Amino acid sequence: MKINMELFSKKKTNIFLLDHMIEILLLVLILIVSCISPAFLTVGNILNILRNVAMKGVIAYGMCLVIIAGEIDLSVGSTVALSGVLIAWTSKNLNASFGIPIEWGALIGVVFAIAVAILVGFFHAWARHHFNMPSFIVTLATLNILYGLAAIVCEGFPIVNAFPKWYVFLGTGKIFGIPFPALVFILVFFAFWFLTEKTDLGRKIYAVGGNSEAARLNGINVWRTRVFVFCTIQVMCVLGGVMNSAQVRSATFGFGRGWETQIISSVVIGGTSMLGGIGTIWGTIIGVLFTGIISNAMTLLNVNEFMQYVVNGSLMFCAVMFNTYMTKKRN
């Protein structure tokens, strides 16, 4: 009897370990890196990591929702570019044509960029829901469209001298010594965590991704849920785009190029299932930190930049394999 109990508790610990594999790996990673490089575990470097992951990180939260809802958004990088370019263009032109100071022009630009992003998100949801087009294809199309539009707006060159001080602060400023983007990254985490864990909308997103037909037959408004997730991720792209262009103090169409793969891999490493219905924001922040720390470590250790692609890709592969294996084992 006693042996049985022990076996039982051992099995339970195993399940606990497997369920929290990514957190454990993150801790192990931190331990290893801090042993190898003493520069790693310093306040300065940690804040640096947080600032670096923030821009893709906020989009990763949105991506997490989209993937839980059973969809995907590949266009995120292009929206990052387009939003930065639009804000800079608006600010610059309002100033040149109407003499509106860039302090106000940039604000108008931000509102404009958010409106465009919501429109794009709505378009994705519309094509997905009413034409039953795979979101993979819809957003692959808009990835190219928005990239092209961004290049047209900025005429192929970076727009400079368009951002006021308050705007630049969004990318480079510090509050109580904490970089502003890092602060945003943490605050937005709580908002998304609350959304997914505590609200009925959160449950609806899981339900639609888990089985959209069952959700519909439960009287859940699948259309509205899809509109919400597609628009939310686009707005997060504007947030990422603002912080990114503010940090560089300019905007061009090349920003955000290729971000979608890194963002999706962070989300997947965090345990979100590409089949929809399963995933957490907690897992996503861990996944984002995990990939962020790896690139930081590789930079500290002077690893070839291109090697980082190899490592990131391999990580994503292993994460998906592990998740698939776990799902199989649970059933």
Partner 1 sequence: MSVLRTENITKVYPGTAALDNVSVSFDSGKVHALIGKNGSGKSTLVKVFSGAIQPTSGKFFLNDAEMHFEAPTDAFSKGIATVYQELSLVPYLSVAENIFLGRLPKKRKVIDWKKTYAMAKEMLDGMNVDIDPHEKVFKLSMWQCQVVEITKAMSFNPKVLMLDEPTSALANNETQRLFEVIRQLKKKDVIIIYISHRLQELWEIADTVTVFRDGKYVGNGEIAQLSHKDIIRMMFGDVKINTRPKDLMAQNEVIMEVKGLTRKGKFEDVSFKLRKGEILGIAGMLGAGRTELLRSIFGADSFDSGSIIIDGQKSYKKSDTVHMKSLGMGLTPEERKTQGIILIHSIRDNLCYSCLDRISNRHVIDNKKRIQLANKQVDELEIKISGINANANSLSGGNQQKVVIGNWLNNEPKIMMYDEPTRGIDVQAKQQIFNIMWDQSRSGISSIFVSSELEELLEVCHRILIMYQGRVIGEVNPDNMTIDELYAICMGGIINED
Chain positions contacting partner 1, by CB under 8 A:
198-204, 206-207, 210-211, 213-221, 277-278, 330-331
Q: Which is nearer to partner 1, 88 or 207 (CB)?
A: 207
Q: Which is nearer to partner 1, 128 or 204 (CB)?
A: 204
Q: Which is nearer to partner 1, 9 or 218 (CB)?
A: 218
Least distance between partner 1 and beta carbon 288 (Å):
24
Distances (CA, A) of 216 to 196, 205, 231, 263, 321: 19, 12, 20, 29, 31
Q: Which is nearer to partner 1, 169 or 223 (CB)?
A: 223
Report the candidate in 140, 157, 160 with the shortest Cα–Cα distance to residue 254: 157
Least distance between partner 1 and beta carbon 326 (Å):
12
DSSP string computed for 52-90: HHHHHHHHHHHHHHHHHTT-----HHHHHHHHHHHHHHH
Least distance between partner 1 and beta carbon 168 (Å):
36
Least distance between partner 1 and beta carbon 278 (Å):
6
Distances (CA, A) of 113 to 25, 88, 117, 236: 38, 10, 6, 11
Q: Which is nearer to partner 1, 174 or 216 (CB)?
A: 216
Least distance between partner 1 and beta carbon 71 (Å):
16
Least distance between partner 1 and beta carbon 198 (Å):
6
Burial classification of residue 300, based on how many CB atoms lie within 10 Å of its CB (0-12 exposed, 13-18 middle, 19 or more buried) = middle
Distances (CA, A) of 35 to 29, 38, 41, 301, 302: 10, 6, 9, 12, 16
Q: What are phi and psi of 160, to 5 degrees?
A: -120, 170
Q: Which is nearer to partner 1, 9 or 199 (CB)?
A: 199
3-state SS class at 160: strand
Q: Which is nearer to partner 1, 169 or 322 (CB)?
A: 322
Least distance between partner 1 and beta carbon 139 (Å):
24
Report the candidate in 286, 289, 300, 294 with the shortest Cα–Cα distance to residue 312: 294
Q: Which is nearer to partner 1, 126 or 169 (CB)?
A: 126
Rounded Cα–Cα distance for residues 104 and 328 (Å): 55
Here the tokens at position 141 are 């199309």
Least distance between partner 1 and beta carbon 2 (Å):
23
